[in-house]
A and B are shown apart, each in its own frame.
Chain A
Amino acid sequence: MRISNKIVAYTTGLVLLLSGCKKQLDINHDPNNPPVDEATPQLIFPGAVMSSAATIGGEYAILGMLWSEFATEDAFSSQYRNLDSYSATGSDLNTNYGELYTGALSDYQLVLDKSVAAEDWNFYLMATVMKAYSYATLVDIYDQVPFTEALQGVANLQPHFDAGDVIYDSLINEIDVALGKDFSARTNSDPGTADFIFGGDMAKWMQFANTLKLKLYLRMVNKNDAKAQAGITALYNNGGNFLTEDAAISTFTSVPGKQNPFYAYNIFSLNTTNNLRASITFLNWLKENSDPRIVSYFGSPTAIGIHQGDFQNTTDPTYANAATFVQAPTDPVQFISGPESYFMQAEARERYFGGDQAKELYDLGVTAAFNFWGFDASGFIAPGGAYEYPTAGTFDDKLDAIITQKWASLPGSHALEGWLERNRTGFPKSSPVYSTDPSWVPGEFVIAKATVIGQNYPKRLVIPDEERSTNKNTPDQVPITTPVWWGK
C-alpha cells in the first residue's frame, strides 16, 4: 500500500497547508471605507453639520414653505399636494427624520466623545450646539423623540421616547456645560475650514450658543413662563452676547451636490420647476405693504399668486401665470439668522424687561432682514411706515409685529421656523374667512382649500413610519392638529 501511504502524506500536507491559511482568509477588512477608529472631530463634524442643514434646510423647509403659507402647490403639478392639503402621514419625511438621527445626531455624539477624550473643547461646544439645535427641531416637529436612550446602536434597539420639555432642559444644560469649558486649553484644536458656519471663530459659536438658548427659552413661554424668564434673565445677566449675523452655511454653489439642498430638491431634481407658487396669503401681504422683497421672493412687484391649497382649481386662468418662488443654488441655509436673533431679543425685552430696547432691536431686525436682499428698511420702520413698531400698542400688537416681521424674513431654507413660530405665538393671525372672501385681510393665515383635516391647521407631524415600524416604544399616534408640548 505504498501509494495509499503517499496519499495520506499528501493529504496531511494539504491539511497543514490549510491550517497555515488563516492569514489567507483574513482579508475581510473593508478596503473601501476606513475603520471607525479613524474618526476625529475634524473628519466627522462637517458632514454632521451638513446633514442638519440638508434636512432642516431641505425637505423640512419645503414643508415650512407650505405651512408658513409662503407658497402653495401649483395647480398643474402634484409634487407636494399631500403636504399642501395637510395629509402628511407617517410615511412622509421619513428620510429626513432618519438622516437627522443617523447622519447628524449620531455623528455629533461621536464628535463629543472624541473631543472629550482629546479635551478639545472647541469641537465640544460646536457639536453640543449643533446637537441641541437638531434635537430641538425634532422636538418642535414631533413633540416627543428618543433622547436619553437614543444613539446607542445595538445596545438599545428600542429606545424610549422622552417628553419634549425634558429634552429641552437637557439640551440647555448641555450647552451650559459646554460653555463652561476651558477655551484657552492647549488641547483645543482650530476647527478652521471644518467649521462651515463660522470658520472656527469660537466667539461666534458662543453667540450661537447663547442665541440658541434664548430660542429654546422663548419656545417654552406658553408652558413654563417662569423658567423661560429665569433663563433669559440669566442670559442677559451674563452679558447677552447674542448673534448679530447669520449662523448659516453660505457657501453653496451651482455645482451638483454642492447646491442649497432646498434648491437641489425642489428645482434641480424635479420634472418641473414650478411646484411652489406664490401663496396669496404672503404675496398680498407683501403687495399691501409695497414690500420690495416681493421681487426677491417672487420675481416681480406684480406677481400673481394662488390661494393657499387651491391646487385642484385648474380652471382659474390666472393660476398658470402665478409666480414661482425664486430660488438659487447658492441660497444659504440659516440655522439662526441675524434678523431672527434681533427679533427674539426684541420679544425677550418686551416680555421680561418692560419693553426696554425692544423697538431698537425690532428695527435692527427689520433692517437686517431688508439688508439681506439689498433693500433699505428705513422708510418702513420710520414713523408712519408700514412696519413701524407699535410702541403704543398692547403686548399682543407688539408680538404680532415682531413675529410677523420674523415670518416675512424666513422664506427659503429657513421657512420651517415660520410655521413653528406661528404654532407658538399664533402670529400671523388666522383669518376667519378664506382668502377669496372680500373681508380677508392680507397676511392672515387661511386653511388650505384642499384640507383633509377639516377647518384646522397642522401643528406637528406624526412619528415617521421608519421609526414606528422598527421601534416598539413609539408612542401612539397623535393627530397632526394637536400642538406640541410648547404649542398654543
Chain B
Amino acid sequence: MRTLLILLSFTVALCVTAQAQTVTGRVTNPKGEPVSFATVRVKNTKTTVAADVDGAFKIRAATGQTLIISAANYATQEIIVQNPDNISVTLQVQEAGLNEVVVTALGQSKSKAKVGYSTASFNNEAITRASPISMLDGLQGKIAGADISTLSGTPGGSTKVVLRGYGVIGGGGNQPLYVIDGIPLSDALFNVAATGGNGPALSDYGNGMNDVNPADVENITVLKGTAAASLYGSQAKNGVILITTKRGKAGKMKVDFTSTFNLTEVGKLPTYQKEFGQGWGGTFILSENGSWGPKLDGKMRPWGATVDNSQLIKPFSAQNLRDFFDWGTESNNNISVSGGNDRTNYYFSYGNVFSDGILPSDVDRLQRHTLSLRTNTTYENFSISTSLNYINRNLNTPAKFSLSPFGNDIYTQLWQLPVDIPVKDFKAYNNKFFNVDNYFTPYAENPFYTLYENGSNQKSDRIYGKIDMTYKFTNELSAQFRFGGDFTNARTKIWNAVNAPSPGSWNAGNNVEGAARRPDIGSYQEQTDYNSILNGDFIVKYVKDLGKDFSLDVLGGVNYYQTQASNVTAAIQGLTVPKFYNLSNSDNPPTSSNGYAQKRLIGLYGQAIIGFKDQLYLTVNARNDWSSTLPIDHNAFFYPGANLSWIASNTFNLTNTGISLLKFRAAYGKTGADAAPYLVYPTLTQVAINQSNIYSGMRYGTVTFPFNGVNAFTINNNIGNQNLKPIITKEIEVGTEMRFLQNRVGIDAAYYDKQTEGQIFTVPIAPSTGYTGLVENIGVVSNRGVEVTFDAMPVRTNTVTWKLTYTFSKNWNKVLSLTQGLDKVIEATDGLSGGIEFDAIPGKPIGQYLSPYPVFAPDGKIVVDPNTAFPVQAADKVDIGTSQRDFSMGLVNVITIKDFQVGFSLDYRKGGVMYSGTADLTLFTGNALATAYNDRKPFVIPNSVNMTTGTDGKPVYTENKTVVTEANFSNYFYTNNNKALAYPMRLIDKSFVKLRDVTITYNLPKAWASKLRAANLSLTAYGRNFILWVPKSNPYVDPEVSNLGNDLTSEFGEYGAGVGPTTRTYGLTLRASF
C-alpha cells in the first residue's frame, strides 16, 4: 500500500536546469593545508561534487550562483561565483556550536538550535579511540546521565546502558531504544536458560547492540530524555541511542584500513588472607575445600589424595591465584571502501574480531565478521538510500552458574581452592592426582576439568538493513518512506561432560571425611533462536518560511512495528558415550520445548516546529499507538510533548561579553509503553515441579511431564490482567548551553524530573490464593537528576591543543508508590531461603537491600544467643542500603602536540552497594581477607549482651560471655549459622574510579604516508581499564560486573560464585587511509 503511494508520487517530478560553465577552485584550511574531499554544491540545485585529496574541485555553475562548501569539522561556507577559475575557499575550523546538526527522533536531522532538550553526540574518533569491539564501550563515563557498564571480563559479554536512572520496576524494560539509520535495532539477549528449566540464564552471550561494528559508526547521538524521544513511541521511554553509520561521499574512491591487536590480562581478583591454610575448624584436613586450617608455616607437607600408595608434597604456604589465568589476545581488523559521484555514493566495509579471553582453553572466545554495504542515490527530486549489514558471530562462553548435577561452572571451583593449593598444577587434569577420582577435595571439581570439558557455543547470523526513499514534491513538501528490519538466527550448544568418581576412590568417599562427590551426569543442549524486527515509517514533511520572522517545520507520519521471537530447545541429561555430544547420546529421552512471541504496534504521529527570528523555536509533537499486547478493546494510547529552545545570544547583542552562545531549553514529554506479550488471558502450563527457589537456578528435586507416558497441565500461577494499561512516562526537562571565549569553553547543563507510572509487574500474591503472581499496573517511580557537561580547550596553539571534557551526573531515584496493599516488590534474591532481598520499596530508591540483621539492645549493644554464640536475628529483615549511586563523573583529556595525540579518560562512580557472590563463597571457604579476623583466635562478639525475659515480662540484658570457639569460627562467616552478621558481610560498597583508557597516537608524517600512497597513517598505543580503585571494603570484585542480565536485576550484583574478574587491556592500532 505504502509502496504504491510512493510510486504514485513519481508522477509529480520537477526538473531544474541552468546555464552553466565549469568552475574550478581549491579548498584549504586557515593554515593553508588542503581540506581533502570537501563537498561543493551549487545552491538550490542538486549539483554536487567532492574535492580531491588536495582540496581541488571542478563543478558546473553559472556566474552569480552560490557555491556551498562543506566538510567535516569545518564551518560551511557560501561563495558567489564571479570568476569561474581558481576560486579559493578557506574553511574555518568549526567548534561545537549552533551550526551543528544533530540527529533527532525518527532520524530527522535538525539544527541543534531548534532542539529544546539535551543531546550528546560522539563521532567515530571518540567512539573508537581505544579500539573497543563494542560500540558503546568507548563512551563509558563520557556521557552525563548515562550509566554504561561492561558486565564481565568475558569476550562478547553484555553491556548495560541506563539513561537517567531506572524507571521500570518489573521485567526489565529499562534499556534505551537503539536506532540505527532510522530503524530500531534489536538489543535482544540470546540467553539460554539452563537445561529443562526456567532459572536464570546460564551464560552471557551478549546483547544485540554489541554486534554493531564500531568502525562503521559515523556518529552516536544520545537522546536521554522522554521529551527528545517521545516521537519514537513505546520503545523509547528510556531514551534513545541513535547510531548513524558511515556513508560514501562524492569524490574518488577512498580506502580506510584499521588493524588493532591487544593483550588482556586478569584484572581484580579477590584479595585472600595469606595466614591460614587448608582445613576446617582450625584442623588440617586433606580433603577440605577451605582455608580454615592451621597457620601457614611454609613447611613441606603431603597434600591431596593418596594414590598408588604415594602422595604429593608441597610447602604449606600461600599460592597465587593469578597463576590460573592466561594472557588473552584480541585482534580487530576493518577495511572500508567508499566513494561516489554527485548522484550515487557507496560505502562498503568488512570487519573482523578474533578475541580469546583470559581463561586458559578456548572456553571464552569470540569471532565476529561484519559486512556492510550502503548506497545513497539522488535522482532529480527522488533520493533513495539503502543499507545492508551482515554479522556472523561465533562465541564460546563459560557458564555463569553451577549446573548441578550436570556439570559445574569455573568460579565455583576456583574460589573453593584453599590458599595453599597450587592451582596451576591442576592443568594436567588427567594426571592421577588431579583427575576426577583423586582431585584433592570431593566438594569441588578440578577447575581445569571444567574449563576443558564443559562449555557452550553460540553461532549467530544477523542481517539488518533498510531502504529509505524521499521524494520532494516542492522545496517545502516532501514525503519519506523507510522500511527496515533486523533478523537474527542463533544456534546455541551447551555441553557438560559426564564423570563420576570410581568406586573406592578418594572422591567416592574413600577420604578422611568419608565424603562422596555427586557424579556429574553430563548433559547436552541445543537451542535455536530467531528474532526479528520489522519497522516501517511513512512521513510527510513540510517546511516553510512564513514571512520574515517565522518559520514552520511540520511532519506527520505513520509507523508499523512488529517483533517476533521464537526458540526451540532440546536437551539430554545423562550421556551414554562420554564426551560425545549429540541429542541421541543418552539413555534418557531428550526433553524439548519451544516458545514463540509476537507483538505488533501501529502508531500515528505528528510534529510541528515554529521558529521565530532564528532565536526561538517551539516544537510540539503527539503520537497515538495501538499495541497488540494490551487488551484488545483498550489498546490505544496517546501522548503529547513540547519543547522550547531560545537562543538568547541571538536575541541580545553579546559580542563584547565573551559569550559566544547562550541557549535555554525547556521540554515536556510523555511516552506510553505497552506490555510484554501474553499477559492478558489466563492459561494452563505444562507441569514441572521444582522444590527450589526460583531465583537460585538450582533445581532440587524436579519432576517434569510427561510422566509415565501421561502429560499434565496446571493452571498458570500468574493471573493475567484483562484491564492492563500501558506504562506512562512523563518528563520535564530544563537546561542551558553556554559557550564562552570564542567557543573555547562551554557548559551544557540539564535538570530533569521524570515519573514512570503504571508499571506492569507480576506482583507476588499469597500462594493460598492458588496463584503466586498477579499481573498488575503498579506504582510510580521518580527519577530527578542533574547533568552537567563542561568542555574547555585550555591550550590552543598551532602546535599544541588540549581539550578536556568533564561530565557530572546525579540522579535521585525514588519509588513513589506501589499498588495499594503492596509494601515492597522483590526484584531479586541471593537465592538462599531467608537471605538478602533486592526490593522496590515506596519512599526509597528502587533497588534496596533487605538483609537478615541482628537484634540490638536499647543501648545499641548486639544481642547474642548464648546457645549459638551468634547474634539473635531480628524478626524482620533490615534495609541496609541501596544499589543506586550517589553520583558519577567522568573526565576526558585529549592533548595534541604536532603529530602526537595523547588521551586519557577517568570514570568515577560513587556510592551504592552490591551483593557479591564471590564474597559469599570466599567467606565460606575461609579464603577471604576478612576471615583472618582476630588472628582466628576465639572471641566474644564485642559489645554483646544476652537477653532473657525478666519476671515482669520485660527483657533483661546481661553481658554476653559466650565465646565464638575455634571450631565455630568458620560458622561466624557463614549464612547458615550466623545469619544476622554473615548476610550483611556479602554486601559491599560498589564505588570505583577507573582509568578507562589511555591512548597515544602518532600521525605519521605525510611524506611517509605518501610513500605508501596513503593519505593518512597513524599508530595508536592504548590501554583500557588497567587501573581500578575501589574502597577497602571491597576486596572482592570489580563492582561493574553482574551475571543477572543487563537490566535492573543486574544491579543486585554478582550472583552464585560470581562472574569472575574483569580484564586489563594493552594494545596497538594502525589506521591508514588511501
Contact = CB atoms under 8 A, between A and B. Distances in A.
Contacts of B444: 271
Contacts of A18: 558, 602, 604, 626
Interface string A4-31: 0001001101110110011011111111
Nearest to B630: A28
B933 interface: no
Interface stretch (A42-50, A126-134, A436-444): A42-50
Given A273-B516, A452-B868, A153 B684 contact: no
A320 B704 contact: no
A102 B628 contact: no
A119 to B, nearest CB: 22
B790 interface: no
B591 to A, nearest CB: 7
Contacts of A267: 518
A27 B599 contact: yes
B701 A258 contact: no
B1029 interface: no
A33 interface: yes
Given A47-B705, A470-B766, A314 B967 contact: yes
A308 to B, nearest CB: 16
Interface string B692-706: 111000111111110
Contact of B834 (A91, A109, A271): A91
Nearest to A258: B707
A256 B688 CA distance: 12
B629 A28 contact: yes
Contacts of A26: 628, 632
A59 interface: yes
B976 interface: yes
Interface in B276-305: 280-281, 283, 285
B867 A50 contact: no
B9 to A, nearest CB: 9
A44 B5 contact: no
A103 B687 contact: yes
Contact of A261 (B682, B691, B974, B976): B691
A9 to B, nearest CB: 10
Contacts of B769: 101, 150-154, 156-157, 159
> How big is chain A's contact interface, by range?
35 or more
A309 interface: no
Contact of B703 (A33, A257, A273): A257
Main secondary structure on B side of the interface with A: loop
B977 interface: yes
Interface in A460-474: 465-467, 469-472
A25 B280 contact: no
Contacts of B895: none
Interface in A165-197: 193-194, 196
Contacts of A36: 682-684, 715-716
B770 A152 contact: yes
Given A58-B701, A103-B687, A264-B700, A153 B771 contact: yes
B12 interface: yes
> How big is chain B's contact interface, by range?
35 or more
A33 B540 contact: no
Nearest to A18: B602
B602 A24 contact: yes
B514 A321 contact: yes
Interface centre among B677, B690, B769 (most CB of A within 10 A): B769
A423 interface: no
Contacts of B770: 101-102, 105-106, 109, 150-153
Nearest to B872: A452
Given A25-B627, A46-B707, A3 B768 contact: no
A317 to B, nearest CB: 9
A454 B708 contact: no
A258 B683 contact: no
Contacts of A96: 691
Given A35-B681, A273-B518, A44 B698 contact: no
A196 B602 contact: no
A54 B683 CA distance: 23
B681 A314 contact: no
Nearest to A474: B766
B632 A10 contact: no
Interface string B453-480: 0000000000000000000011001000
A352 B893 CA distance: 93
Interface of B: 1, 5, 12, 196, 280-281, 283, 285, 404-405, 442-444, 473-474, 477, 509, 511-518, 521, 538, 540, 556, 558, 573-574, 587-589, 591, 594-600, 602, 604, 626-630, 632, 635, 677-678, 680-694, 698-705, 707-717, 719, 764-772, 774, 821, 833-835, 865, 867-868, 873, 875, 967-968, 971, 974, 976-977
Given A14-B538, A159-B769, A265-B701, 6 more contacts: A3-B477, A32-B595, A47-B713, A50-B689, A270-B405, A454-B867
Interface of A: 3, 7, 10-11, 13-15, 17-18, 21-22, 24-36, 38-39, 43-48, 50-51, 53-55, 58-59, 74, 76-78, 81-82, 89-103, 105-107, 109-110, 145-146, 150-154, 156-159, 193-194, 196, 251, 255-259, 261-262, 264-274, 312, 314-315, 319-322, 324, 451-452, 454, 465-467, 469-472, 477
12 contacts: A95-B691, A95-B692, A95-B693, A98-B772, A151-B769, A152-B769, A153-B769, A154-B774, A157-B774, A257-B688, A257-B704, A264-B703
